[in-house]
Amino acid sequence: MALTEINFDGVVGPSHNYAGLSLGNLASTRNAGQVSQPRAAALEGVTKMRANLDLGLVQGIFLPHPRPNRAWLTELGTTIDAAGSALAANAMSASAMWAANAATVSPAPDTTDGKCHLTVANLRTMPHRSHEWPATLAQLQLAFDDTGHFVVHAPVPPAFGDEGAANHMRLAPAYGEPGVEIFVYGVSGGAFPTRQHIEASQAIARLHRLDPARTLFAEQSEQAIAAGAFHNDVVAVANGPLLFAHEQAFADRDRLIADCARLVPGFELVEVPAAEVSLADAISSYMFNAQLVSPPHGETTLIVPAEARETPSVWAWLQRHLAGNGPIRRVEVVDVRQSMANGGGPACLRLRVIADPAAVDPRFLVDHARLDRIAEVIERHWPAEIHNDNLQDVTLIHDIETARATLFAALDLGELA
């Protein structure tokens, strides 16, 4: 079985809007009430996926959830027409586009049963995300239905918050070799809630049958959460044996680095000092909310949002690192401004799964022709703009539901529609 990393990007849904629902996500709060551009947002995502294909990476997709979530509103005893504006906004959220929060993934080389395990995230901290998991689970169960290769788990009980791969990292000499899995959790975040509970992380490690000797639990620094790093992937990212992190990412930085050096052959740390890039600049630019990838015939590459290039301290640090022939040998810039304005960068938009692509339902994998088909549906059916005070408009809702149904039909995934 040839294991490789597959990046599954969330297709930005036709209800993409700026309701400012995510406490602790500074960009989401700052842009609340602005006019969104769902069509442009979704096409930005398609362009990012095309760039990944051009690098030689294997690319997958997850699809938009039903919006409004009428089933969830029914559970609350209301409808999209009758709901108050705040509840309606929660039911219309397109935040499932951030596939890094879809699940936590442990590849087969790390598990005692030799299967890739995926646990769908419960996302219980924020109302607008707490109702995502059933639709996400349905897609995971279909995409990874080969029981010889995958085990898909239901969410951890909602007493404990779990926000998926955004708080999980893996270090290994190579994708197909046994690795060390790092679960990052929060204890305190000042004025902001901590979203990943250690109890949830520990439960997932047990469910995934991980070796306790090769499983690390690291506390995210309170300073980072309070500064707006609501997920670990805003201040740290790992790939292969390389950890790229801000100096202030972890509460006990020295212990984590020592454990990684002890457990991971060839471990490398690229750490950005606070004196050179402040937490504020790192978070506003999403310097670390980047895709750190290993193209099959290329050099270790960091895929950053355009905002990183536009932040002087960040861009200067990256250029110095490249000039010094550090472990990151190439930086690629992508424009995902519509996602960034709602608080999600390149890393937020994708879930990394190390697996044999032949074991995945091919309808969830894309090439350029399949992306052409997706882009055509988006260009014809996604709304050009959504005003935040228009979320309960009957015509808009009809257009959103029609757009989603058209995409699922075009991709032969009607059983999920």
**Catalytic one of 117, 231, 246, 381:** 231
**Catalytic one of 16, 181, 321, 348:** 348
* Dihedral sign from CA coordinates of 275, 279, 280, 285: positive
CA-CA distances (angstroms) from residue 56 to 52, 77, 100, 154, 328? 7, 48, 21, 32, 17
Q: Are 91 and 83 in contact (CB under 8 A)?
A: yes
The position carrying tokens 């109302």 is: 127
Question: How far apart (Å, rounded) are the C-alpha atoms in residues 230 and 246?
Answer: 14
16 classed as catalytic: no
- 350-355 β-sheet, strand order: 58-62, 4-10, 350-355
SS3 call for 239: strand
163 classed as catalytic: yes
Q: Are 44 and 307 in contact (CB under 8 A)?
A: no
Question: How far apart (Å, rounded) are the C-alpha atoms in residues 318 and 193?
Answer: 31
231 classed as catalytic: yes
Enumerate the β-bridge partners of residue 117.
106, 151
**Catalytic one of 163, 181, 219, 307:** 163
Question: How far apart (Å, rounded) are the C-alpha atoms in residues 164 and 120?
Answer: 7
Question: How far apart (Å, rounded) are the C-alpha atoms in residues 7 and 310?
Answer: 26
Question: How far apart (Å, rounded) are the C-alpha atoms in residues 239 and 327?
Answer: 11
Cβ neighbors of 277 (< 8 A, separation 6 or more) are: 246, 287, 313, 314, 317
Q: Which residues are known to be catalytic?
A: 163, 231, 348
